[in-house]
Amino acid sequence: MIIDLPSTTTSQLNKKLVELRERGGAVALGRVLTLVIVADDDERLEEAIDAANEASREHPSRVIVVAKGARTAAPRIDGQIRVGGDAGASEVIVLRLYGPLASQGQSAVIPLLLPDAPIVTWWPGTGPKDPARDPLGELAQRRITDSAAERNPIRALNTRAKAYTDGDTDLAWTRLTRWRAQLVSALDLPPYEKITGATVTGEADSPSTELLAGWLAYYLKVPVKRVKTTSAQGIVSVTLDRRSGPIELHRPDGRVGTLTQPGQPTRRISLQRRDNKDCLIEELRRLDPDEIYEAALQGLGKFAAGATAKKKAPAAKKKAAAKAGS
């Protein structure tokens, strides 16, 4: 059910939520957190709400979406409430702020927050340079950005690395979970030898590739080379050098990876790019600081740039590949 409330106030929105709750349409007592979504365009807004609805099946929440209307318009709030089948296991409140109110998102959100519930703020598109100092970021215990959605992903990642505060995270990091798990499990197999170097190959503007190289550089304490390629999008391959031969995890098509290492059979592994729904579900499982992500950020300046791989992928494959993702 979707209820539109044009030219409304936060007080009227709260009254409507109470009315719906009394009619059995929503149960706020079962919500475990408040998720604030800051959307910069209508297309991304609906994608973010769909992801939040899916995530709410594991993390029931109140979702507050802040969208900015025309700054030149008269000050007003257009509200919308979604419950039931249009909100998953959550209740969704969409606030579109016009005129001077467009820069007052924090004031509009505070009256709608669930009492005594953790707050997570998510910027699915363009986010602030310093999330912890953003007015809506200041409200949250956890702040989620997505460098891959930025106009200049690598610059955005490096800027936020300098401003990192406990509670910050990035979906470009979350997309690495399967890659990191496979590499760690490969090291648990014989021969048990020291890693002497590493090479990470990926698209030039892939923040996930940068973070993977930073993570390896920080924890392995060996020379790491970051190679840029035009043969595919996102991360393409990781090579860990050892005396008996390298461990290689190669994913040329964005879907299936091949893991090879001396003394072990070649294995094919599902490494499908993760969508925002999967990444958001994972991020909402923890509200404490992510020390490993912080370490990966610290490792960003510890690897060297390798020679650019110039082999180009066929045009059909490039069109089929998703722009974002690891």
pLDDT tens per residue, range 183-219: 999 998 888 899 999 999 999 999 999 999 999 999 9
> Residue 309: what pLDDT?
64
> Residue 150: what pLDDT?
95
Chain-wide mean pLDDT for the chain? Answer: 90
Q: Report the percent of the chain where pLDDT is more than 90.
A: 74
> H-type helices in the chain, by residue range?
10-22, 42-55, 105-109, 153-162, 171-174, 177-187, 207-220, 276-283, 291-298, 315-320
pLDDT band for position 133 (50/70/90)?
A: very high
CA 103 – CA 97 distance, rounded (Å): 8
C-alpha R_g of the chain: 22
pLDDT of residue 90 exceeding 90, the answer is no
> Residue 232: what pLDDT?
82
> Residue 310: what pLDDT?
58
**101-115, 216-230, 279-293, 308-322: range with lowest mean pLDDT:** 308-322
CA 217 – CA 208 distance, rounded (Å): 14
> Residue 88: what pLDDT?
75
pLDDT of residue 260 exceeding 80, the answer is yes
Region 51-71 average pLDDT: 92
Neighbour-count burial of 36, counting CB atoms closer than 10 A to its CB (0-12 exposed, 13-18 middle, 19+ buried): buried
Concatenated DSSP letters for 121-169?
A: EE-SSS--SSGGGSTTTTT-SEEEE-GGGSSSHHHHHHHHHHT--TTEE
Three-state DSSP state, 270: strand
CA 235 – CA 295 distance, rounded (Å): 19
The CATH code that applies to domain 2-170 is 3.40.50
> Residue 313: what pLDDT?
42
Neighbour-count burial of 111, counting CB atoms closer than 10 A to its CB (0-12 exposed, 13-18 middle, 19+ buried): exposed
pLDDT tens per residue, range 309-321: 655 444 434 444 4
pLDDT of residue 305 exceeding 70, the answer is yes
pLDDT band for position 30 (50/70/90)?
A: low
CA 210 – CA 223 distance, rounded (Å): 14
In the chain, where the domains are located: 2-170, 177-320
Which tokens belong to 144?
């989620």
> Residue 24: what pLDDT?
66
Closest CA to 138 of 108, 174, 170, 167: 167
pLDDT band for position 21 (50/70/90)?
A: confident
pLDDT of residue 172 exceeding 70, the answer is yes
Q: Which residue has the tokens 């408040």?
A: 34
Closest CA to 159 of 66, 168, 80, 196: 168
How many angstroms from the chain centroid is the CA of residue 22? 35
CA 164 – CA 158 distance, rounded (Å): 10
Three-state DSSP state, 119: strand
Run of H or E including 110: none
Region 26-32 average pLDDT: 62
Q: Is there a contact between 110 and 121 (Cβ–Cβ < 8 Å)?
A: no
pLDDT band for position 324 (50/70/90)?
A: very low
> H-type helices in 188-262, by residue range?
207-220
> Residue 320: what pLDDT?
42
CA 122 – CA 307 distance, rounded (Å): 36
Region 46-64 average pLDDT: 92
Q: Is there a contact between 157 and 147 (Cβ–Cβ < 8 Å)?
A: yes
